[in-house]
Amino acid sequence: MKTISEVIGLGPKIEMTEEEWKKRLTTEQFRVLRMKGTEMPFSGELLYNKEKGVYQCAACGNPLFRSDHKFDSGTGWPSFTEAIEGSVELLPDYSHGMKRVEVRCSRCGGHLGHVFDDGPSPSRKRFCINCAALSFEKK
């Protein structure tokens, strides 16, 4: 029987130097994924994407979110009610004088965004994710 990692494509952890990441990523992707930046709201290409498929980590290709869990939160960033099991790590984030929960790719450690408890039922979760941290594979 296949493991969930084999079924959905989760692979082994990826470790690279910051210089290697700079060569692999665009300037904006590096700023968001490696420097924990945030893109301007309503600026990302995947914000209005309505196609069926899987959103992946732009740095390593790790499958993160299914399109059927995406919703329009009106915040200016793609929002999801849940992540693919095992695809993300949640960590406390006390930056900018706030208490938040950071969402990172479980494979490469890239910063994706934050998760909040103001999403729709039943999960009440809103994974607020930067477009620059995502790629999309149409299904």
Catalytic residues: 128
Cα–Cα distance, 33 to 109 (Å, whole number): 8
Cα dihedral: 106, 60, 39, 114 (round 10):
-10
Cα dihedral: 128, 133, 62, 70 (round 10):
30
Q: Tell me the residue type at 15.
A: E
**Cβ proximity of 62 and 75 under 8 Å:** no
Rg (CA), the chain: 14
Largest alpha-carbon pair distance within the chain?
46
Residue count of the chain: 139
